[in-house]
Amino acid sequence: MNRKLIKNIIIVFFILLVILLLLDLTSSQINGQSLINTIPCLSKNC
């Protein structure tokens, strides 16, 4: 595998991660619950 391919994979992965975060934020505004908010909640057992 050449470096350009690896770089493209990292860029695509980063874009997907950003899209998932944006979707999570928009769903949290609709439902009042998001993955970001539930992860610390699970660790505190609330």
In degrees and rounded to multiples of 5, residue 33 shows phi and psi of -145, 135
Give the number of domains in the chain.
1
Exposure of 12 in the CB half-sphere (CA atoms within 13 A): 6
Domain carrying residue 20:
3-44
pLDDT digits (tens, 9 = 90+) for 1-45: 789 999 999 999 999 999 888 887 776 666 655 565 666 555 565
Q: What would the two tokens of residue 44 be?
A: 């505190």
Residue owning tokens 């539930």: 38
Instruction: Write down the pTM of the prediction.
Output: 0.54
CB count in 10 Å sphere of residue 14 = 10
Supply the pLDDT for residue 3. Answer: 92
Longest dimension (CA), the chain: 47
Q: Give the Å distances, CA to CA, from 36 to 9, 11, 28, 39.
A: 25, 22, 9, 6
